Chain A
């Protein structure tokens, strides 16, 4: 699934990254590499962006700008 399906409180792992664009590269440099597990802390009042907790810090990103990421929710 993609980031679009994320809900508050969910845990998920990055499984694949489909693009090599500079934008997607930057997301990886921020720590979202394949195999990284993160938690959705919060969704902004109008549905986007989302706040995630990864590698011990908080990052806010737009769901719509992460199409190239494939993620797997953990139960």
Chain B
């Protein structure tokens, strides 16, 4: 454990390599990362605790981290030994945390990181002296050369065998310490064994969790109150004395052990020189926009061939499997369309996830991410988000899944949840086929290429503009809990550690594939079954054939097959459901065919194009570039002969797609990231309602303005 940015995760990755497990602590969104560490005397379990600035937890992450350290989590054993990572270049703040941690009364080892940077800054540290001052063995580490790892392992082994509790005086004011000693005695008299530190916390922090113990002893509570009053009289500040004393101690230790070199390096540091450009009010913003454009383009473009490759592989597998099961049409369709189609449709997102997390890991590892958040904070801050929200939201324009996973760069749980909940409103690349189809069919012929381009751009803005009031509402009305102040450490720039980058990408991919393999495959099969059953009976088929032949003399067999597919979908549970709820969608101008296509697109919105193909009798092999589908859409009519698709209807349908939560993979990811079904359900409900209302709204505009 240790401060964020102290090099904790790098050290953990070096110690455990790829022998890591990523899971969740029960009931919370905090990830548990643990691994096994081989020591000469056997393997031990090693836990990477989320970074902490203080043992007084404010956020959920911090609360979990503190509980792990204290051994209060049911599924995790109380640690036998604490390894505290201390950044040698940031001694005071790291020692502040160390002073709190040492109160646990557990054996400890300190891993001192950033030794090389300290040297570059022209400073020296006397580790032997420091070890004496803080009563703990200290092992110096040089990150990128893995130097010190063996020594650290030895130290862990030594301290496990001969546990030593750190002992040192922090130097609290004597007025405080005499009261603490007196109160401790009184507490002991009623049979409660509190340490000195426990009593001090009780005295100074009126909202400390231990206060529930006092409630049962009113006379004790009075004693504490009296002591607090006396402290005020003696000039001890109840709310700041603890922190102030620890920092004073940290400062004394630092001055005792750090030696400035004889010739301190003059001039600005490398970080300052880089920052002069990267956080410049003009160049900084230009570079930021350029970098984000690069990230976005990479997700869009570089992922494309890989995604096509995955689609191709799944196409090959489907092609190979199809003839094997030709004798059992239902099983063939289940395996090919249901399972392979569903899983393939989800694995396709893997390249985007890998590329985004490559960028995030590099940007974060180098220290740029914090600068970007610094630049962007004002823009995001006014609606209740903060500067860290830009990466999740920007990547959601390519795909909401990596975007939602990227929201973990936000330590404040409230802002993180708000970001996750609006991320799918950003117009992802899967919506593009729908836009291209409808714009190509209805906007371009009427308004020309400029109009089409504007319409496409407009569709990308719809979600963004809707997201702003939603975030505002979420923060004010729905998300509980207090928002943390926006505090951001700006660590010195450094080269990202490639091992950390690979490990981060590997685990994101693994988690995603695991989710895809379970929830999503299951849901795909359910939707497949709904659109496959019940089958047309032979009698019904004959009837359909007869009627079709009457209406279309000279139709070929393949036309007939397409018509069968259409009738089959209309007859399926999904089609019937679509017809049943048609009245609900009439105000939006959608008939049962559009409604059924929308329903079939709930697992993955991009499937709406093939669905429209089937239901408008063209077969499922159409895409947005086919010329038949726009024509079929143009010619489609209501039963009374009015044209089904007006310009307004097409805009309504596009707006519906822009706002609707039609993506199972996204909902499954939200479930994974929030560790609860509550938020995906909430997201689904609010987005679907919003999409419906917006589509109805567009249709009402059409009545106002005509066609």
CB distance from A9 to the nearest CB of B (A): 13
A60 pairs with B378, CB closer than 8 A:
no
CB distance from A30 to the nearest CB of B (A): 6
> Inside 8 A of B491's CB, which chain A residues have their CB?
57-58
What's the Cα separation between A1 and B247 when bound, in Å?
A: 24
- Do the beta carbons of A49 and B247 come within 8 Å of each other? no
Q: How many Å from the CB of B528 to the closest CB on chain A?
A: 50
Interface presence of B638 (CB below 8 A): no
Chain B 229-243 interface 0/1 with A at a Cβ cutoff of 8 Å (1 = within): 000000001111001
Interface contact B239-A25, CB-CB below 8 Å: yes
- B92, A48: Cβ atoms closer than 8 Å: no
A30 to B93, CA, bound (A): 7
Q: Is the Cβ of A29 less than 8 Å from the Cβ of B96?
A: yes
| A31 and B93 contact, CB distance less than 8 A | yes
A20 at the interface (CB under 8 A from B): yes
Chain B residue nearest in CB terms to A57: B90
| B53 & A33 in contact (Cβ 8 Å cutoff) | no
Task: Please pick, from A26, A33, A44, the residue contacting B374 in the complex, using a CB distance under 8 A.
Answer: A44
Nearest CB in chain B: distance from A33 CB, A = 5
CA distance A50 to B307 in the complex (A): 42
Q: Determine if B261 is an interface residue (Cβ-Cβ < 8 Å).
A: no
Smallest CB separation, B409 vs chain A (Å): 15
Say yes or no: A60-B240 contact (C-beta < 8 A), given A31-B93, A42-B275: no
* CB nearest neighbor in A for B370: A60
Q: How far is the CB of A11 from chain B (nearest CB, A)?
A: 16
For B486, list chain A residues within 8 Å (CB): 49, 60-62, 65
**Bound complex: CA A37 to CA B487 (Å):** 18
Is the C-beta of B681 less than 8 angstroms from some C-beta in chain A?
Answer: no
**B-chain residues with CB within 8 Å of residue A60 when the two chains form the complex:** 370, 373-374, 377, 486-490
Cβ–Cβ contact A56 & B378, under 8 A: no
Q: Is the CB of B378 within 8 A of A49?
A: yes
A60 to B374, CA, bound (A): 7
CA distance A7 to B482 in the complex (A): 29
Residues 86-120 of B contacting A (Cβ, < 8 Å)? 89-93, 96
In Å, the complex CA distance between A55 and B95 comes to: 12
- Point out the residues of chain A lying under 8 angstroms from B511, CB to CB: none
Complex Cα distance, B247 from A34, in Å, reads 10
Residues of chain A within 8 A (CB-CB) of B93 are 30-31, 55, 57
Q: Are B279 and A42 in contact (CB under 8 A)?
A: yes
B58, A27: Cβ atoms closer than 8 Å: no
Chain A positions 34-49 with a Cβ under 8 Å from a chain B Cβ: 34-36, 41-42, 44-49
A41 / chain B contacts, CB cutoff of 8 Å: 275
B368-392 CB mask vs A (1 if < 8 Å, else 0) is 0010011101110100000100000
Report chain B residues within 8 Å CB of A34: 237, 240, 244
Asked if B544 CB lies within 8 Å of chain A CBs, one says: no
Q: Does B56 contact A (CB under 8 A)?
A: yes
Q: Does B81 contact A (CB under 8 A)?
A: no
**Does B281 interact with chain A (Cβ within 8 Å)?**
yes
A16 to B53, CA, bound (A): 22
Q: A29-B53, A29-B56 are in contact. Are A62 and B91 (CB under 8 A)?
A: no
CA distance A25 to B238 in the complex (A): 12
Residue B485 lies at the interface, judged by CB distance under 8 Å to chain A: yes
A70 CB-CB contact with B under 8 Å: no
Nearest CB in chain A: distance from B242 CB, A: 9
- Write the chain A residue with the least CB distance to B285: A45
The residue from A25, A27, A57, A62 contacting B489, defined by CB atoms under 8 A apart: A57
Query: Is B256 interfacial (CB 8 A cutoff)?
Result: no
Q: How far is the CA of A55 from the CA of B490 in the complex (A)?
A: 13
B284 within 8 A of A: yes
Chain A contacts of B484 at CB under 8 A? 23, 26
Asked if B595 is an interface residue, CB under 8 A from chain A, the answer is no
Partner of A61 from the list B240, B244, B373, B488 (CB cut-off 8 Å) is B488
Return chain B residues, CB-CB under 8 Å to A58: 489-491
- Which residue of the partner chain B has the closest CB to A27? B485
Determine if A17 is an interface residue (Cβ-Cβ < 8 Å): yes
> A47 CA to B90 CA in the complex, in Å?
27
B490 touches A59 (CB 8 A): yes
Most buried by B among A36, A58, A66: A58
Q: How far is the CA of A45 from the CA of B487 in the complex (A)?
A: 17
> Are B240 and A49 in contact (CB-based, < 8 A)?
no
Which residues of the partner chain B approach A28 to less than 8 Å between Cβ atoms?
A: 240, 243-244
What is the CA–CA distance of A36 and B91 in the complex, to the nearest angstrom? 15
Asked if A46 and B379 sit within 8 Å, CB to CB, the answer is: yes
Please, which residues of chain B bring their CB within 8 A of the CB of A66? Answer: 485
Partner of A49, one of B56, B237, B374: B374
The reply on A74 being an interface residue by CB < 8 A is no
Q: Give B334-359 interface residues, CB cut-off 8 Å to A.
A: none
Query: What residues of A have a CB within 8 angstroms of the CB of B396 in the complex?
Result: none
Q: How distant is the Cα of A66 from the Cα of B486 in the complex, in angstroms?
A: 10
Docked-complex contact B281 and A45, CB < 8 angstroms: yes
Instruction: Tell me whether A72 is interfacial, beta carbon within 8 Å.
Output: no
Chain B residues with CB under 8 Å of A27's CB are 485, 487
CA distance A24 to B487 in the complex (A): 11
Contact B284 A29 (CB under 8 A): no
Q: Can you add 5 more A-B contacts, CB < 8 Å, to A25-B239, A30-B487?
A: A26-B484, A45-B375, A46-B378, A58-B489, A60-B489
Top-4 shortest CB links A-B: A46-B378, A58-B490, A20-B239, A45-B281
Q: Which residues of B contact A (CB under 8 A)?
A: 53-54, 56, 58, 89-93, 96, 237-240, 243-244, 247, 251, 275, 279, 281-282, 284-285, 370, 373-375, 377-379, 381, 387, 482, 484-491
